[in-house]
Structure 1
């Protein structure tokens, strides 16, 4: 996706620098977070079985719970284990239309999931065997695979430790 150019690009970059200077404290000066981490992130799926097969069989994330949604009769709420106590959840809403995924303000751009080098290679092989289109590694970045799940959600398999970005630890833990 092309972005701004010329003076507009320089203005965007200057604004980012201003925000960084005003709000980003050195790691040693930051207060501890008030959160314990992400309990789960929840998305909507079109088809429970298709979603379970993709995440469990292709990506290797075990299904750990499948219950009725407490807020919508007949709807399922289910979870996959992403490791380190992190869960990925989904809901289905039978009887509702599910329009194609769109990237928009306030919407999800992508979900990045940390995997080690061995699992990265294994996932790449399973995705190829399943015929899933993958972008990456490319653009000089050999640690990311980008794909779309059966619901259109953009997923990045990221061969980087949690709390590390571009080789630099950016969190306190």
Structure 2
């Protein structure tokens, strides 16, 4: 089996009109497909570039959001979410587009996390205040109207064999799925 990347990621929204407005207007992602579900719900697909789609389900009787359980509470300050949850969605972006993207988000009234641009590196903290040669990705975090944590990520270099430097951890008592 050989996959060719992500076809789509399907999330759940609280209001499809609000969600469609955010993704088309604030993020510039074209709405490319809409589906009316037989149970009264909807399933909409947005083109997020590179042949990938971001999709949303909506139902009139959807359960409420559960930050810190089903979704991240605040990134990067409180990054944990429960087993089986979706933590955040990161979109590829060229580094030279980060500043313009931040300006577009702010102009659309979208709150951007602080620090605004996060420099991810291999230091013990995993982030650096200043840009340096060890930074491998720069990103900005923000939320959609449903509380979904989103990220614009600019990868600065190709991954190398030495980037695999840690054995996978095993929990003393694995969390229930």
Fold shared, TM-score > 0.5 on shorter chain: yes
| TM interval, short-chain normalised | 0.5 to 0.7
2:71 counterpart residue number: none
Structure 2 stretches lacking a partner, 5+ long: 69-80, 119-126, 132-137, 161-177
1:168 to 153, 158, 166: 158
- 2:40 counterpart of 1:50: no
Summarize deviations over 1:74-110 as a string: whole Å, max 9, x none: 1110111011210000000112332343321221111
1:74 to 23, 40, 64: 40
TM-score, scaled to structure 2: 0.66
CA RMSD of aligned residues (A): 2.2
Q: Is the 8 A contact 1:79 1:89 kept in 2?
A: yes
Q: Distance in 1 between matches of 2:58 and 2:86?
A: 17
Summarize deviations over 1:120-144 as a string: whole Å, max 9, x none: 3332112111222212204537620
- 2:104 counterpart of 1:126: yes
> How far is 1:118 from its partner?
4.8
Q: Aligned pair count?
A: 132
Q: Is the 8 A contact 2:14 2:62 kept in 1?
A: no
Structure 2 vs 1, CA of residues 51 and 119 (structure 1 numbering), >3 Å: closer, same or farther? Answer: farther
Structure 2 vs 1, CA of residues 44 and 167 (structure 1 numbering), >3 Å: closer, same or farther? Answer: same
2:62 counterpart residue number: 96
Displacement over 4 Å in runs of 4+: none
1:59 counterpart residue number: 27
Q: Is the 8 A contact 1:100 1:152 kept in 2?
A: no
2:89 counterpart residue number: 111
Structure 1 stretches lacking a partner, 5+ long: 1-32, 161-165
Q: Is the 8 A contact 1:101 1:151 kept in 2?
A: no
- 2:8 counterpart of 1:40: yes
Deviates more, 1:72-81 or 1:101-110: 101-110
Q: Distance in 1 between matches of 2:145 and 2:151?
A: 14
> How far is 1:60 from its partner?
1.3
Q: Distance in 2 between matches of 1:130 and 1:100?
A: 25
Q: Distance in 1 between matches of 2:20 and 2:88?
A: 19
TM-score, scaled to structure 1: 0.67
